[in-house]
Amino acid sequence: MFAVHSHFQSCSSPYPTRGFSLIELLIVVAIAAILIGMAVPNLKTFIENNRLATASDELYSAIVYTRSEAVKRRDNVTLCARNSNASLTCESTGSSADYANGWLAFVDCNNNGVYDACDTDGDGVADTQEELLKVTAAFDGNLSITNSNTTTPNIKFDMAGRARAGVGTLTISANSHIYKTLEVIRSGNTYFN
């Protein structure tokens, strides 16, 4: 008798099938969605804190720069909040002066704390625009940088590096969340609180 050998093997393989069942896949997707849902608010806070840190560091550097230029040039140098229309003018009212709109640093030849022209030849007519040293653009988002000194929010340093105006606390915040404060004191020193 003949033995009949089939050329067809059974469907079972010596190697187990690898993959996920539909239920396993749905569980992994659900866990991933939960983790992403938990991470997004933290990421938003991280990004906001990073923006605030950048703004406060830039403002601190601008204040130190303004003071050093006053000493170096042996002249009055002012740092003012830019007007909200992004022009090269200082904000005219202290209560609306927001350094988040950017700022200007300039040699204040007529010592009035405003970026304008001054009388260099003594004839009583303003004839020369003050020297603009630094211009910073506005920050994006709902950032706010205000000076507690609303009477004279522009920070002015004399040739000895002393603050002659703008002495007070600058508050850096977003969405009513205070991130940092900078203190400008009469001696001209500036520090984070």
Domains of the chain, by residue range, sit at: 22-192
The residue among 17 and 133 whose pLDDT is bigger is 133
Position 8 pLDDT exceeds 60? no
For residues 164 and 156, give the distance between their C-alpha atoms in angstroms, rounded to a whole number. Answer: 5
Instruction: Considering only residues 60 and 127, tell me which one the structure prediction assigns the higher pLDDT.
Output: 60
How much is the pTM? 0.76
* pLDDT beyond 70 at 10: no
Specify whether the CB–CB gap between 154 and 81 falls below 8 A.
yes
Supply the pLDDT for residue 12. 59
- Residues 105, 62 contacting (CB under 8 angstroms): yes
Topology of domain 22-192, per CATH?
minor pseudopilin epsh fold (3.55.40)
Mean pLDDT of 154-181: 89
Q: Which of 172, 149, 176, 173 is nearest to 95 (CA)?
A: 149
pLDDT at 2 over 60: no
Q: 79 and 188 in contact (C-beta within 8 Å)? A: no
Say what the pLDDT of residue 155 is.
Answer: 93
Residue 13 pLDDT: 58
In the predicted model, is pLDDT for residue 1 greater than 60?
A: no
The three-class DSSP label of residue 154 is: coil
- Does residue 70 carry a pLDDT above 70? yes
